[in-house]
Each structure stands twice: as structure tokens, then as C-alpha cells.
Amino acid sequence: MADHSTVNGSEIPVYNLKCIDLANPDIHQSAAVLKQACMESGIFYVINHGLSEELMNEFFGQMKKFFALPMDEKKKLFWNQSLRGYRPPAQAVIDNKTQQKVPGTDFSKEIVGAPPHCDLNFITLLATDEIWGLQICREKNAQPQLWEAIPPVKGAFIVNVGDMLEMLSNGAFRSILHRVVFGKKRYSTGLFLCPNHDYVIECLPTCKSEDNPPKYPTIKTGDYILSRFRQLAADTVKDNKAV
């Protein structure tokens, strides 16, 4: 595999993810690789997941056909109150109920995209086409940040750890700072796994001890999501004004 990727004329190093093969009969080996991936980087591939290559090709084919439609056709599926439908490019997506709980913040006017971030949920499953664009920063608190390109693997899911799993594991599993840099037209779809708003996020008993006390405060999922949305809005407005 390549050790460097060129995006918009700039070369960055490539990070080759660990791969979890769900067809591997050695479950203990797969579990060990999974644990190592979550502790080292917080992101990995999953292959032989049960969705056929034909189904994945059909899915991305239909996606490309949809986005090639005239705007008037796409607007027929415009996202209003529900979690279904079309949303214009680069417009932030926040469900209506949650948005009503954030007074004084006009997301629709200020947010036009997300800055580099860690996902706030448990885990994210991502399916992409074969176009490069996803980049990660394994040391999210380091300055300067070192960004690495993630190679797209045909038919594989990319799975990344979110903040909630990092909090549950007391930092043992790492949520990954990531971004997408566009050089070509790229198609992807994500599934974001998150508990109900009243679920209490707290360190698991097996992940804490007298020598390793909880690093994160206990908080309800809904409260954490709202705090992250506020932070994302502030960061995005700041980044947009700096452009």
C-alpha cells in the first residue's frame, strides 16, 4: 500500500488501518486486533460484513444518480421535521427537537460544514467509494497536528470510536480526530450509533480503579450532545470567519 497520498497538490503520510475480518473463525484473534485498533488509533476496517459487493455497488450507483438530479427534483425530498430526506450540500444537519433546545444559536445561517472533529457518539460505521479524502490525527492534542490519509478499501466499512465509547472506557479506547479533504467528487454514507438521550454515560466498573479513577464526568447522553453541538457551532463559526 502507498505510504503517501497527494491531496490538492500536497503530500501527507498514509496510515494503514487494522482490519477486522468477520469471516475469521478465530474470534479471539479478531477480538485482540479489535482491542489493539481501538487503543492505538480508534479506527479500523471491517470486511466480510454480510453486505455483498453487488449491493454496495448498487447503493453507490443510486446515490450518484440522485445527486446528479436537478435541484428541483432533489428538493422534493427536502429534510424538514424528520430524519429522512435530502439536505443541500455543506449545510449542517441537526434534528429539529435538539435545535429547539439550544437557545440563541442560529445553526442554519452560521454552520456551513464541520471543522476537524471527533464523533460524539459511541461508534460510527462509514461506507465510502474509492476516492481518497478521509484523514485522521491520532494525537488530537498535539501541536502541530499530524494528519494522515486513510486509504479507501473497496467493500470495507470504516469504523471509528466516538467520544462516548472513550468516556465509557475511561480513555482506553480513543475517539479519533478526523476530517475530509476534497480533491475530487466523493460519495460516502455513515451510520452513527448513539444511545437514548436519558442514557447515563459513566465509566465502566472494569475500566477504573483506585490507581486509575474516572477521567470524565458522568453525564446524560442528551446533555452531552447539546454541549457538543454548542461547541461545534462555536468552532465552525470561528473557522469560517478565519477563512
CATH of domain 4-242: 2.60.120.330
- Whole-angstrom distance, CA of residue 136 vs CA of residue 153: 16
Pick the range with the lowest mean pLDDT from 101-115, 195-209, 217-231: 101-115
Instruction: For the chain, give the mean pLDDT.
Output: 83
pLDDT grade for 242, boundaries at 50, 70 and 90: low
Pick the residue with more confidence: 204 or 113?
Answer: 204
The model's pLDDT over 3-60, given as tens digits with 9 standing for 90+, comes to: 656 655 568 899 999 999 999 999 999 999 999 999 999 999 999 999 999 999 999 9
pLDDT at 179 over 50: yes
pLDDT at res. 95 = 43
Residue 17 near residue 150 (C-beta atoms within 8 A):
yes
Pick the range with the lowest mean pLDDT from 75-84, 94-103, 218-227: 94-103
User: Phi and psi at residue 139, in whole multiples of 5°?
Assistant: -105, 85
Sequence ranges of the domains in the chain? 4-242
pLDDT at res. 163 = 96
Pick the residue with more confidence: 140 or 83?
Answer: 140
Write out the H or E segment, with its range, that includes residue 158.
strand 157-161
Residue 151 near residue 185 (C-beta atoms within 8 A):
no
pLDDT at res. 238 = 65
Percent pLDDT > 70 in the chain is 77
pTM of the predicted structure, to 2 decimals:
0.78
pLDDT at res. 3 = 66
Concatenating the DSSP letter of every residue in 45-68 gives EEES-S--HHHHHHHHHHHHHHHT
pLDDT at res. 115 = 77
Residue 112 near residue 234 (C-beta atoms within 8 A):
no
pLDDT at res. 236 = 67
The model's pLDDT over 189-219, given as tens digits with 9 standing for 90+, comes to: 999 999 999 999 999 999 999 999 999 999 9
Amino acid at 212: N
Alpha carbons within 13 A on the beta-carbon side of 112: 8
Residue 119 near residue 159 (C-beta atoms within 8 A):
no
SS3 for 34-45 is HHHHHHHCCEEE
219 grid coordinates: 453525564
pLDDT at res. 232 = 74
CA dist list (Å): 82 to 87, 156, 241: 12, 29, 31
- Whole-angstrom distance, CA of residue 95 vs CA of residue 99: 6
pLDDT grade for 75, boundaries at 50, 70 and 90: confident
Residue 135 near residue 178 (C-beta atoms within 8 A):
yes
pLDDT at res. 68 = 92
